[in-house]
Amino acid sequence: MLIDWFTVFAQTVNFLILVWLLKRFLYHPILNAIDARERRVAAALADAAAQRDEARLEYQAFQQKNEDFERQRRSLLAQAAEAAKSQGQALLEDARRESEELVARRREALSKDFMRLREEILRRTRDEVFAIARRTLGDLASAGLEEQMVDAFVRRCRALTDQEKNVLRSSCLAGAEPVLVCSTFTLSDGLRETVERTVREVLACDGEVRFETGQDLLCGIEVSVNGQEVAWSIAGYLAGLENNIGELLQV
Amino acid sequence: MQISPDNILYWQHGFLKLNATIVFTWALMLIMAVGARLVTSRLSTGPERSRWQNLLEVVVLAIEKQIGDVGLKEPRRYLGFLGTLFLFVAAASLCTMIPGYTPPTGSLSTTVALALCTFVAVPFFGIEARGLAGYCRSYMEPTCIMLPFNIIGEISRTLALAVRLFGNMMSGEMIAGILLTITPFIFPLFMTVLGLLTGMVQAYIFSILAAVYIAAAMESAGPAGKAGTASSTP
């Protein structure tokens, strides 16, 4: 007989024992290892996904910050450019103002220099004119400059109109101040006497007559009484000379 | 020539006996259990693992996938029984390359034992899933008249399982033996290779048929139709 029932029973038991053994030593450990690996892989994938999400969020935040920074940078640049522009304009304005002030100062200084130079020229011209006139008069007419000036002054006084004389006389009578005679040069006693006699004659005044000498006062002889003046000088000649020289310099 | 390894006796006392079928089965059990123990004692759960662990994982996952493909919802519940069926039959066939080895599946007693285990497992899993009444009702579907036919079909397919495996394993052994006496050099080698292929196919068929029977018992349809379809497999 092909079937041995004891062997059938033994093989059944053997098979059941083999089922238990393989369950114990093969299926459970292998499946547990596979499950553990799958869990690790799933955890790693989930972790990777979380990290990717986190990285995406960080990337978005970084991008947002970058955009903010870029906006702020542009805004600051625009502000800085505006500030630089306004400051540049202010500096230009300051420079222009300072330049104008400097030009004005230089112009003023130039004007002062010009005035000083003009006065110096006038003074020297006057001195030279006087020196030339004195020498010329001495050489040609054996006459002194001072005498001729006094003579011209006397003629000038005597040529006054009656109205002018009245004005001077009324001024002399109204004030208590002395009659002041100013001359460029010191007058000799004879010339002083001549001038005083002429003044008293024209002004009809018995008051004090005081003489003063001053290089800068005038270029001749001047009588002043309470604001009224009578004078002879070469100021008119010098003014003409000055005009001629000015025109020459401007050309 | 011995038709069955049951006839090779090493020891006997009364009805107790120790024949080649039992001895080689124990040897296979020892090799499989110790081999599995050695590999699984150093299992790695990380990406790096030994080639033996890889091999066992591939085998176990392939069996699990096949069980799932048959239609069983939770393959791991049946992995112990069906996987052991496949591995035992496959290992018994694979070891035929060893000289002096006689496969225990070439014994009708072994195949009957395996078929009986399947015969018991089918209602066991069916009752576990559907309850005793539900499972018994499936024998009377679509009508009560089908009850005896379903019972006969259940028994006959168990018998067919046993005889199919036995016939395939024994015939290969027989042909190899006969050819060894006639042409002792070339043909036995071819027949051994062919026997290996046949043995692996039979291991697959046996375990798949058992899975199909269990799956049929789990479903609401009567087991007769599925069994009839499955029984037609060579």
Q: What are the percentages of helix, strand and coil residues in chain B, rounded to 5?
A: 75, 5, 20
pLDDT < 70: residue spans in chain B = 1-3, 184, 220-234
Give the pLDDT band of residue A111 (cuts 50, 70, 90): confident
The total of other beta-carbon atoms located within 10 Å of residue B97's CB is 11
Q: Which two tokens stand for residue B38?
A: 């050695």
Strands A209-213 and A179-183: parallel
Q: Residue B225 has what pLDDT?
A: 38
B112 close to A (CB below 8 A): yes
Q: Residue A156 has what pLDDT?
A: 83
Q: Which two tokens stand for residue A41?
A: 């892989």
Alpha-carbon distance B174 to B190, whole Å?
Answer: 14
Alpha-carbon distance B79 to A22, whole Å?
Answer: 10
Q: Residue A133 has what pLDDT?
A: 82
Peptide bond into B142 cis (omega under 30): yes
**Shortest Cα–Cα distance, A20 to chain B (Å):** 8
What SS3 class is residue B221?
A: coil
Name the phi and psi angles at A217, rounded to 5: -70, -55
Look at phi and psi of residue B211 and say left if phi exceeds 0, alpha if psi is from -120 to 50, else beta. alpha
Q: Residue B230 has what pLDDT?
A: 38
A10: closest chain B residue by CA: B22
Among residues B83, B220, B225, the alpha carbon closest in space to that of B154 is found at: B225
Q: How far is CA A133 from the centre of its chain?
A: 51
Q: Residue B33 has what pLDDT?
A: 95
Percent of the residues in chain A that have a pLDDT greater than 70, as a whole number: 95
Give the pLDDT band of residue A223 (cuts 50, 70, 90): confident
B15 close to A (CB below 8 A): yes
Alpha-carbon distance B179 to B186, whole Å?
Answer: 9
Burial class (CB in 10 A: 0-12, 13-18, 19+), A195: buried
Measured between beta carbons, the chain B residues lying within 8 angstroms of A18 are 29, 32-33, 84, 88
DSSP at B146:
G
Q: What's the mean pLDDT in A107-111?
A: 85
Measured between beta carbons, the chain B residues lying within 8 angstroms of A8 are 109-110, 112-113, 116
| Total domains, chain B | 1
| Domain extent for B157 | 5-231
Alpha carbons within 13 angstroms on the beta-carbon side of residue A80 total 6
